[in-house]
Amino acid sequence: MKHLWSILLVAAVAGTAPLYAQNTPQGGADAEIHLPDLPEALIDPPQTPAQAPSAPAPSDGPLPQIGGWSRSGAGTTVQERTWDLGLRVLDTSVPQGRIMMGASFPEPGILRLTGEDASVALALSLPADETPPVSFDLVLRSSVSNLPDHSWVTVSVNEQEAGQWPLSNVEGFGTITVPGTALKAGINTVDLSLHQHHRIFCGPEASFDVWTEINLPDSGVTVPAGAVKLTAGSFRAGVTNIVQRGEKIDVRMPEGVSTDTLAAVMGAIGANVSDSAAILVRSPYEPVDRAGRRVGVALRQGTGGAADISFLRSPQGALVMQVTEGTGLADLLARTFPAQDAERDPQALTPGRETTFKELGAPLIVRNTHYAQAEVPFSLPKDWMNLSSQRAMLTLDYGYGKDLTDGSILLVKANGETIILLPLDVDGGKVQPSLRVRFPINLLHGGHNTISFEMIVPGDPATFECPERDSDMLVVLNSSTLNVPPTPPMAFGPQDDELQSIGGEDVMAPAAEPDFVHTFIGQLSLQKSTQGTARLQLAQLPQDFNTLDTRLPLDREEIAHIFQTRGTSAPQGADRPQFFRLNEAEDDAPAQDPQRSDGLAASLKDWLGELVAPEGPTLSQWIVNRSAVAVLMAPTESDMPWTLVSDTTLAPEVLAASFTQFRASDRAQGTRVALRTQDGTWQTWPPTPRPHVVGPIAFNQIFQVVGNFASWAPGFYALILLALSVLSTIPALIYVILTRKDRNQ
Amino acid sequence: MNRREVIVGASALGLMPAMGAFGQEAGASLQSLVPAWNAWKAAYLQPDGRIVDVASGGASHSESQGYGLYLAVLFRDVEAFRLIYSWTEANLALRTDGLLAWRWLPDATPNVPDMNNASDGDVFYAWALLMGADLFDLPQCRGRAGVIVKAVARLCLPPVPNDSGRRLLAPGVEGFVRPEGIIYNPSYWMPKLMSDLAVAFNEPSLQRAVDDGLARLGEMADAGLAPDWMMATPDGWTAAPEGFSSNTGYEAMRVPVYLCLSGQASHPMVRRYRTAYEAAGLDAGTPTVFDGKTGEVLERSPDIGYAALAGLASCTGAGGAKLPIPLFTTDQPYYPATLHLFVLIAQIQGFPQCQPI
């Protein structure tokens, strides 16, 4: 009988196979679904009143199998929960995502030290009140070009040398166990000094070939999870570590928590971490990633009482800062995360005053690699602008080693442009007399700038390994000075709506998805914003399409077209337009048809176009055929906010991080419309934004203002001068005509 | 007990408000858990509707299918409901009484070598069919649920030997009533679901089993935690026969979450678990097996869903939770992941202050 039922059921259900194609997830009662046809006996319960349970006859047969079924994981090894206390770099300006001579991060968490001599200062934070470990690990690997017998790393802990090891891990990461005798509870300084010798060649290329990579997260010490104190200090160290690894700060925010709370908490955390930090705001019910978290933030809705901050260890091992909203949250946050000293920007250069490199925070620069780089970053006021042909003055105190190879040179650059080339192959072995270098001031701009040095010392010969040197190759003293003249307050675009001033509390998004809005609020709160009144309106397509402000620089149809263009497949073959963009620097250039540009007429037309419209093409011309995943638009009226429109394909955290990077870049200056493309770059309009006077100017600065405008659009102003010249001749012509007329009479 | 008594009993448990518009209410309040539910489906639900317990050799059970259908109803997921229901009817509804065979093995021939049922799987499955019938407008499912409930009431509620005429839900139809007594599994007693079914199908005996089960759990709490298995004999309660665990292990760990989901968070047995978990701590993994006599921790597990059970039990205390509920993850086997989801549902519905971290 059982078998008969089985056959009937299988036959019945077999007929339901096509039903699997019907897909109505989360559907309701109106969803058309089909279920297996079951025998009457299975779907028609007896209509009799409740039957008294029958008492089955006792069975003395075998015990039910189910009793022997065990879910025990007795074979599973429960390992003690531990914390890896990795190393981190103290200097937060180490370049990320690119390889440079010296220290750089080719990828998050992997620190590469390139060149024959390189050094870096690291930090190892150990739990307070715990006995320091007897040793710690340094996980590293070196290039195969390193000659192990002549390549080594010297490790110092808290300025006490801990030992020297050969750099012999060329086949993969290996571990050096460093004695921890000098370690102490709290923050320890670990200095690495590397000497790397190329096994075959010598010269600038060989300098790049010798390197050692330190795996920072895997280095350090492993301690029992319980040893990590649940304190704000441990949390700060943990956050700093994950930011250096390139991981996002995981923030869990349930419904009902105020966005003001989110902004306040992230603002407090942001004051303690670098600007590269990124966050991910999600519901506490979103699954956690497989890799889990090391630190996290959990926001909780308050019950009307006082705010509370506590540090917990999640069952997954993460150190979680739990914040319960309530009264006094700001004070509580200020006590938990004391604000960093609001020091003057150490890299700020005061225009009109001779400033030493030391005042700019630059150390003594000593280089001993055949290719060497060094940078002296500094910042000018945001409203500093000089586009004219004036000169700035660099007074260079430097020296170089005796008997450097013929052809050795030093390039001195301002923002990447070479301002002088100095030979290093004559009269070396001493500090040279101060060298005064005048360079075009229009190489500098408001905000961050860099004076950099690039030394190239050929091998002698290049096909043999380098001889050992007992003197330094290059030294740039930090007594060198820089003098930049002041300018009238000018900027590309009006400053009162500057993107950099938008903080988390300035984000508006009445209808957008909570995760989208919260991620932006959190991310912008994490960054340090400048003074200003700008606001940011978020919108997501398609749901917010009809709510977009009609006063935006782009109308709704144009915005829709930008997103639709991205969705269409690329034309193939003959239909494909011959447009190219070979690198990011070309982004600002209008998409040009090479065929059209050929010919004198087209060139003349372009030239005339630039003459009458120095900012470049109009927005409606520029936007043609462009596509994007997000569009940023400046306000067109004083009461309007900036508007950022995105579609739902771009993850909120990706867009938020991209936006914060963009607004900090030079490209954001003066932009009125910016397109965030699918490849992560931003295209901005206008391509050459017009300068604006953004503050009161003195009478004697008028010529500088005019000079800036004239330098910005020389053709345009030449045309104006020409017109004025022509106009100025008119009275003379009139006078001549009138006087000749009188004479004729 | 007549229908009125059943309803009074259900009301006392605080279950009645959940009945009528259950689906809509649950669907709205559990919206935030939908990503976790989707992750759960992606990890454990096959496209054909089979829920796979990899840790048990890739087997499926009436329990796992019942759990899956229960969750599909809570999350108003008609597609998952259809898939699970179809597979279950095709592969486990093999008994003439309408109950489900308890286990399906992928590598066995036939796939269901043991035709016995497991009453907890039947209860979850029937409850989900009952609710799904209204929620998805599928009257056929109500009929199917009725057949199961009638069979459970008729076959799985033998009188407890020498225990004042109590009725307790037996684990299955065959083999649990022994000459020396009846074998029980307290973690098969899901009060809310049994009560809802008792009301819906006018089965006072099932409601009686709920009341008696809660009473029996209360008595057990005086002595310690609930065991995985136990036996009622004419001389009283004893350990289950050899081969059945008398410890508080992977079976009985469900008791507190079932009680919390049934509005019984203040039950003394929940308090017992809270004390045990908090005393044991989670630093070296979550306790999963306590000794039935001494309460000593015999086994711990790194699977995070078990920590969720501890967190929920801890949350029921008046002084605030000492153990947190973890974030959901599918980086764990089916069983702890499913219990983890149950805990989060209970937390959302009854313990908003214990937000997972």
pLDDT at A69: 83
Rounded average pLDDT over B25-45: 87
Identify the domain boundary among A485, A510, A532. Answer: A485
What is the spatial distance between Cα A105 and Cα A100, in angstroms, rounded to a whole number? Answer: 9
**Given a cut of 80, is residue B75 above it in pLDDT?**
yes
Q: What is the CATH number of the domain that holds A395?
A: 2.60.120.260
What is the spatial distance between Cα B84 and Cα A478, in angstroms, rounded to a whole number? Answer: 74
- For residue A500, being part of any structural domain is answered with yes
pLDDT at A598: 59
Q: How would you label A461-497 residue by residue, b for 16+ Cβ within 10 Å and e otherwise? A: eeeeebeeeeeebbbbbbebbbbbeebbbbbbbebeb
* Residues near A220 by beta carbon (within 8 Å), at least 6 away in sequence: A84, A85, A86, A87, A124, A136, A137
Instruction: Please tell me whether residues A215 and A113 are part of one structural domain.
Output: yes
For chain A, how long is the longest CA-to-CA vector? 147
pLDDT at A52: 64
| A192 SS3 class | strand
Structure tokens at B169: 């839900």
Instruction: Please tell me whether residues A634 and A599 are part of one structural domain.
Output: yes
Rounded average pLDDT over B23-31: 61
Nearest CA in chain A to B200: A50
**What percentage of chain B has pLDDT greater than the value 90?**
87
Instruction: Please tell me whether residues A551 and A671 are part of one structural domain.
Output: yes
Beta bridge partners of A122: A89, A190
Say whether B329 and A287 touch across the interface (CB within 8 A). yes
- B chain contacts of residue A51, beta-carbon cutoff 8 Å: 150, 153-154
Greater model confidence, B215 or A664: B215
Q: Is the peptide bond prior to B234 cis by the omega test (within 30 degrees of 0)?
A: no
Say whether A5 and B245 touch across the interface (CB within 8 A). no
Nearest CA in chain B to A76: B301
Say whether A66 and B33 touch across the interface (CB within 8 A). no
> How far B136 CA lies from chain A's nearest CA (Å)?
4
**Given a cut of 50, is residue A352 above it in pLDDT?**
yes
pLDDT tens digits, one per residue of B37-50: 999 999 999 999 99
pLDDT at B18: 39
- B chain contacts of residue A28, beta-carbon cutoff 8 Å: 76, 78, 135-136
Q: Identify the band that residue A345 occupies on the pLDDT scale cut at 50, 70 and 90.
A: low
Residue A135 sits in which domain range?
A: 82-227
pLDDT at A114: 95
Instruction: Please tell me whether residues A177 and A245 are part of one structural domain.
Output: no
Identify the domain boundary among A671, A689, A707. Answer: A689
| A385 SS3 class | coil
Alpha-carbon torsion (A345, A349, A352, A356), positive or negative: positive
Closest CA to A678 of A627, A723, A720: A627
Instruction: Please tell me whether residues A431 and A475 are part of one structural domain.
Output: yes
Identify the domain boundary among A193, A227, A261. Answer: A227
pLDDT at B23: 41
- For residue A508, being part of any structural domain is answered with yes
pLDDT at B266: 96
Beta bridge partners of A380: A447
* Residues near A263 by beta carbon (within 8 Å), at least 6 away in sequence: A503, A504, A505, A521, A522, A525
Greater model confidence, A124 or A588: A124
Instruction: Please tell me whether residues A543 and A649 are part of one structural domain.
Output: yes
- For residue A107, being part of any structural domain is answered with yes
Nearest 10 degrees: Cα torsion A693, A698, A700, A704:
-10
pLDDT at A565: 65
**Given a cut of 50, is residue A146 above it in pLDDT?**
yes
Lowest mean pLDDT among A583-592, A598-607, B158-167, B322-331: A583-592
Instruction: Please tell me whether residues A97 and A206 are part of one structural domain.
Output: yes
> Which of B86, B177, B202 lies closest to A35 in CB terms?
B86
What is the spatial distance between Cα B309 and Cα A553, in angstroms, rounded to a whole number? Answer: 55
- For residue A479, being part of any structural domain is answered with yes
**What percentage of chain A has pLDDT greater than the value 70?**
84
To the nearest whole number, what is the mean pLDDT of chain A? 83
**Angle between helical axes of B119-135 and B139-155 (0-180°, round to 10):** 150
**Angle between helical axes of B3-12 and B204-223 (0-180°, round to 10):** 40
Say whether A50 and B205 touch across the interface (CB within 8 A). yes
Q: Residue by residue, what is the 3-state secondary structure of B264-326?
A: CCCCHHHHHHHHHHHHHCCCCCEEEEECCCCCCEEEEECCHHHHHHHHHHHHCCCCCCCCCCC
Closest CA to B352 of A89, A303, A247: A303
Rounded average pLDDT over B333-348: 97
> Which of A45, A301, A322 lies closest to B143 in CB terms?
A45
- For residue A161, being part of any structural domain is answered with yes
Lowest mean pLDDT among A190-194, A220-224, A576-580: A576-580
Q: What is the CATH number of the domain that holds A623?
A: 3.30.379.30
- A chain contacts of residue B344, beta-carbon cutoff 8 Å: 285
pLDDT at A21: 31
Nearest CA in chain B to A9: B90
- For residue A12, being part of any structural domain is answered with no
CB atoms within 10 A of CB B183: 23
Instruction: Please tell me whether residues A479 and A547 are part of one structural domain.
Output: no
Structure ipTM:
0.91
**Given a cut of 90, is residue A744 above it in pLDDT?**
no
| Contact status, residue A158 vs residue A170, Cβ threshold 8 Å | no
Q: Identify the band that residue B1 occupies on the pLDDT scale cut at 50, 70 and 90.
A: very low
- A chain contacts of residue B177, beta-carbon cutoff 8 Å: 55-59
Among B160, B297, B355, most A C-beta atoms within 10 A, so best to mutate, is: B355
What is the spatial distance between Cα B315 and Cα A546, in angstroms, rounded to a whole number? Answer: 46
> Which of A5, A78, A289 lies closest to B285 in CB terms?
A78
pLDDT at A588: 45
pLDDT tens digits, one per residue of B85-135: 999 999 999 999 999 999 999 999 999 999 999 999 999 999 999 999 999
Instruction: Please tell me whether residues A102 and A158 are part of one structural domain.
Output: yes
Greater model confidence, A209 or A700: A209
Say whether B250 and A71 touch across the interface (CB within 8 A). yes
Say whether B140 and A42 touch across the interface (CB within 8 A). no
Q: Identify the band that residue A338 occupies on the pLDDT scale cut at 50, 70 and 90.
A: confident
Instruction: Please tell me whether residues A517 and A604 are part of one structural domain.
Output: yes
> How far B343 CA lies from chain A's nearest CA (Å)?
11
Question: How far is residue A9 CA from its own chain's centroid?
Answer: 60
Beta bridge partners of A156: A161, A191
Say whether A255 and B324 touch across the interface (CB within 8 A). no
**Given a cut of 70, is residue A344 above it in pLDDT?**
no
What is the spatial distance between Cα A213 and Cα A210, in angstroms, rounded to a whole number? Answer: 10
* Residues near A344 by beta carbon (within 8 Å), at least 6 away in sequence: none
Greater model confidence, A470 or A450: A450
Greater model confidence, A275 or A334: A334
Structure tokens at A457: 């010392």
pLDDT at A547: 86
State phi, psi for A17 to the nearest 5 degrees: -55, -45
Rounded average pLDDT over A114-142: 89
Locus of tokens 């409601």? B207
pLDDT tens digits, one per residue of A225-264: 777 888 898 898 888 878 877 788 999 999 899 999 999 9
Rounded average pLDDT over B25-30: 63
Domains identified in chain A, total number: 5
pLDDT at A291: 58
- For residue A75, being part of any structural domain is answered with no
What is the spatial distance between Cα A387 and Cα A706, in angstroms, rounded to a whole number? Answer: 10
| A664 SS3 class | helix
Q: Identify the band that residue A76 occupies on the pLDDT scale cut at 50, 70 and 90.
A: low
Nearest CA in chain B to A318: B357
pLDDT at B10: 40
Instruction: Please tell me whether residues A331 and A362 are part of one structural domain.
Output: no
DSSP classification of residue B45: B
| B223 SS3 class | helix
Greater model confidence, A316 or B300: B300
Q: What is the CATH number of the domain that holds A237?
A: 3.30.379.20
pLDDT at A233: 85
pLDDT at B131: 97
Q: Identify the band that residue A566 occupies on the pLDDT scale cut at 50, 70 and 90.
A: low
Instruction: Please tell me whether residues A559 and A638 are part of one structural domain.
Output: yes
Give the β-pairing of A110-114 and A295-300. Answer: unpaired
Lowest mean pLDDT among A16-25, A273-282, A616-625, A700-709: A16-25
Contacts of A340-349 with CB under 8 Å at 24 or more apart are: A340/A271, A340/A272, A345/A379, A347/A377, A347/A378, A347/A379, A347/A448, A348/A378, A348/A379, A349/A378, A349/A379, A349/A380, A349/A482, A349/A484
Greater model confidence, B176 or A272: B176
pLDDT tens digits, one per residue of A156-186: 999 999 999 999 999 999 999 999 999 998 8
What is the spatial distance between Cα B134 and Cα B81, in angstroms, rounded to a whole number? Answer: 13
CB atoms within 10 A of CB B92: 27
pLDDT at A39: 74
- For residue A398, being part of any structural domain is answered with yes
- A chain contacts of residue B355, beta-carbon cutoff 8 Å: 252, 254, 284, 298, 300
